[in-house]
């Protein structure tokens, strides 16, 4: 009886752990430009890497310009299943890149990356 209970407890713990992994939202791990980073323009490569697969066709990037206006950013073809990439040509100033990523679990994650162009 004790052995059966121990085995059942182990199975429950393992399943609980796997469910957490399967339900994890896309979390931004690294970005170029970096948060509060300074980049040299005008040519800037954008590369956002997440902890899980993201659906590039249903993810978005939006650029907030120094004057506060926003413009959509076209995504490049995905280089990796966990990346969103693009290329920008920007003048000197402070910008914010807003991202919205649809993860493989069907949930949307959002965030902002403020940066400046020198």
Tens-level pLDDT at each residue, the chain (118 residues): 555 445 554 544 444 444 444 456 899 999 999 999 999 989 999 999 999 999 999 999 999 999 999 999 999 987 789 999 999 999 999 999 999 999 988 999 999 999 999 9
**Sign of the dihedral through C-alpha 18, 53, 25, 48:** positive
DSSP E strand boundaries for the chain: 28-32, 37-39, 43-50, 60-64, 70-73, 83-89, 93-102, 108-117
pLDDT of residue 29: 96
pLDDT of residue 109: 95
pTM: 0.77
pLDDT of residue 7: 52
Q: Is 79 left (phi over 0), alpha (psi -120 to 50) or beta?
A: alpha
pLDDT of residue 62: 98
pLDDT of residue 78: 77
pLDDT of residue 24: 60
């Amino acid at each position: 009886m004790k052995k059966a209970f121990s085995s059942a407890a182990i199975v429950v713990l393992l399943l609980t752990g796997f469910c957490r992994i399967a339900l994890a939202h896309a979390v931004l791990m690294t970005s170029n430009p970096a948060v509060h980073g300074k980049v040299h323009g005008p040519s800037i490569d954008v590369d956002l890497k997440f902890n899980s697969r993201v659906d590039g066709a249903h993810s978005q990037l939006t650029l907030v310009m120094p004057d506060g206006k926003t413009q959509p950013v076209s995504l490049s073809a995905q280089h990796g299943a966990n990346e969103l990439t693009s290329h920008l040509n920007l003048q000197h100033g402070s910008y914010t890149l807003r991202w919205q990523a649809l993860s493989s679990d069907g949930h949307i994650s959002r965030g902002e990356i403020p940066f400046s162009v020198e």
